[in-house]
Amino acid sequence: MFSSRCILTASKHLFLSSLWRNQILNRMSSSVPVAAVCQITATPDKEANFSACKTLVEEAKDRGASMVFLPEGFDYIGSNREETLSLSESLDGQTVTRFSEIARKLELWLSLGGFHERGPNWNTDQRIYNSHLIINDKGEIVSVYRKAHLFDVELPEKGVSLKESAFTIPGPSLIAPVQTPIGKVGQGICYDLRFPELSLALQRQGAEVLTFPSAFTVATGAAHWEILLRARAVETQCYVLAAAQVGAHHHKRSSYGHALAVDPWGEVLGDCGGEQPGLALVPINLQKLRHTRRNMPVQEHRRHTDFYHSLEKT
């Protein structure tokens, strides 16, 4: 079983072990595509965030990745409501344009998970969408999912107080999985992870990879992050890729980190830890996925939706 470790940007010039080096060479010479799951520390400084993301994307390309996953808030994480709104852009703004250029130049697919997109009535109602974009290797936006479940949580004993709905519009619908070089990708964002109905709906529509770009708080991440990701993988028999924010964004907010990749059996293939930015390279073996589903045909055993609602009628 291949298990990826996180490659930290602070130590990327260190020599890899011979075993690790051989695994990379074997993987890149095979037909199994490679995904890169990234971990960053975004701040309100959009230019610095772009530079950090660009470095990771270029490194992922150099190491053989065909698709790169960036976390929620990859563009920035504001220190207050006013700053968050003022820094937002439309999909045809500078940030998305620059990432589209990177994708086209490197001939690489990108998952941009959690872009601060100005809402449809920005001039009269200054609220935003939390949007997850997939950009193909030609630099084209092929899918936009807008976060459906907003993080309105008060945990005073844990020091957590966030109300996303104060400035964010909930997305209107799920988006069908997108065919990519690593398989059919179903999109979620962060808090969506806690709602298994979303993952199961995407799996029923053909998803082979589920992705939850996130900025989990330290408290909720330590308690639930890995458990939830592995549960979603096991119940859907999908790969689950979760790029993450890590560390202190400003004096008011920090994130848990541990960008994670999980296989359809629930085994963790890559973990970026909770300290530094970096990336994990993960082979996406769809033959393994089909083998898992064939040997344990959970979806075939699932009863009709009406069965699970029958208890409500008794």
Beta carbons within 8 Å of 250's beta carbon, 6+ residues apart: 43, 44, 77, 79
The pLDDT of residue 224: 97
The pLDDT of residue 8: 55
Mind listing the pLDDT tens digit for each residue in 20-29? 444 544 444 4
Active-site residue, 190 included: yes
Asked if residue 79 has pLDDT above 70, the reply is: yes
Task: Spell out the SS3 assignment of 178-197.
Answer: EEECCEEEEECCHHHHHCHH
Share of the chain above pLDDT 90, in %: 79
Q: Which one is predicted more confidently, 152 or 111?
A: 111
Q: How confident is the model at residue 18 (pLDDT cuts 50, 70, 90)?
A: very low
Active-site residue, 105 included: no
The pLDDT of residue 161: 75
β-strands 67-70, 109-118 pairing = parallel
Q: Which one is predicted more confidently, 140 or 153?
A: 140
Pick the CATH number of 4-313 from 3.60.110.10, 3.30.530.20, 3.40.50.10470, 1.20.1280.260: 3.60.110.10
Least confident of 154-163, 225-234, 248-257: 154-163
Mean local confidence (pLDDT), 9-24? 42
Mean local confidence (pLDDT), 6-28? 45
Asked if residue 15 has pLDDT above 50, the reply is: no
Q: Which of 53, 59, 89, 147 is catalytic?
A: 147
Asked if residue 46 has pLDDT above 70, the reply is: yes
Mind listing the pLDDT tens digit for each residue in 86-137? 999 999 999 999 999 999 999 999 999 999 999 999 989 899 999 999 999 9
Asked if residue 32 has pLDDT above 90, the reply is: yes
pLDDT averaged over the chain? 91
Mind listing the pLDDT tens digit for each residue in 262-314? 999 999 999 999 999 999 999 999 999 999 999 999 999 999 888 988 887 76
Active-site residue, 38 included: no
Predicted TM-score (pTM) of this structure: 0.90
Q: Which of 38, 190, 238, 272 is catalytic?
A: 190
The pLDDT of residue 5: 55
The pLDDT of residue 7: 61
Domain spans, the chain: 4-313
Asked if residue 12 has pLDDT above 70, the reply is: no
Q: Which of 6, 38, 53, 72 is catalytic?
A: 72
**CA proximity to 57, closest of 47, 66, 48, 68:** 68
